[in-house]
Amino acid sequence: MDLNAKIYVAGHKGLVGSAIVRKLEEKGYTNLVMRTSKELDLRDRHAVLQFFKEEQIEYVFLAAAKVGGIAANNDYPADFIRDNLFIQTNVIDAAYQFHVKKLLFLGSTCIYPKFAPQPLKEEYLLTGELEPTNEPYAIAKIAGINMCQSYNRQYGTRFISAMPTNMYGPNDNFDLKSSHVLPALIRKFHEAKMKGEASVEIWGTGKPKREFLHSDDLAEACLFLMKHYEDNEIINIGVGDDIAIHSLAEMIKSIVGYEGELTFNSSIPDGTPRKLVDVTKIHALGWTAQIPLEEGIRSVYAAFNEEQLAAY
């Protein structure tokens, strides 16, 4: 990508999109195009086509999506499959119609079967049943992958698909009703500390293992793939290491400085037992994650704490 290339970051206000914008600006890219969801509803096909026609975009980072944790996926399954299908279909098709040079579609490791062997290799896609708690979201993402592959085969487009593992970082969602596990734990421990509560409830048994990638690492990977990856098959983005939720909770408890007890609510589903991605493919290309988990969580909590203090 030339430094003056016109680049559209879809979802620039979110955790992933904002990290991609920061990284592009850091690298010297100056011609970035962004629209909030109020300025451009990506579910509106006509509006998306008009936007691409007017702007003549050269490169697209498709990071816009409706996302959430187990609770949100369970409560709003129709919203998750409908909105994500609309968003990605409209953007991918507009990118084809208006001759975008290259598009990076960001999926999720939830596309892999619930009981797939670990670590998750790219070829495990569509080899087994999905995790029921986020199946609608996963099916939408799988459709996006196939759409990119199909457009490449039929139209000769350059649309690539990357599957990042669980994300965290600046601009994360800390809403306890819709957030993912790591930001939810940060908020729970922080509030319990402020209120002097004796215990904090953790959803599930604490036994499942998860891999966590800082959004700044993901952004670096996205730029790397936009420059160096042309394969029609998906590629994983991850750290290559995971941690049990129980251990993660203990780590965050220590970072926040909470001194109470942990309780585990086993009536709430754990979700997939383990979700560690195989990063052999992206490592072979020359990219590896750089931010250690504890260091990353400390920086996220420091920013979260500052925001909480500023609110009072």
Residues annotated within the binding site for NADP(+) are 11-17, 106-109, 141, 180
Q: Token digits for 106?
A: 């960001």
Residues annotated within the binding site for substrate are 188, 203, 210, 270
Please name the residue ranges forming H helices in 181-268: 181-195, 215-228, 245-256
Residue linked to tokens 């920086």: 299
Residues 200, 202, 205, 206, CA torsion sign: negative
Other CB atoms within 10 A of residue 232 CB? 13
Q: Token digits for 81?
A: 């499959």
How far is the C-alpha of 129 from the C-alpha of 219, rounded, in Å? Answer: 30
Of 59, 96, 112, 137, the active-site residue reads: 137
Residue 94 class from Cβ within 10 Å (0-12 exposed, 13-18 middle, 19+ buried)? Answer: buried
E strands in the chain: 7-10, 32-33, 59-62, 102-106, 159-164, 166-168, 199-203, 209-210, 212-214, 235-237, 243-244, 261-265, 274-275
DSSP H or E run through 283:
helix 280-285
Q: Is 137 a catalytic residue?
A: yes
Q: Are 91 and 45 in contact (CB under 8 A)?
A: no
Other CB atoms within 10 A of residue 220 CB? 22
List residues with catalytic annotation. Answer: 137
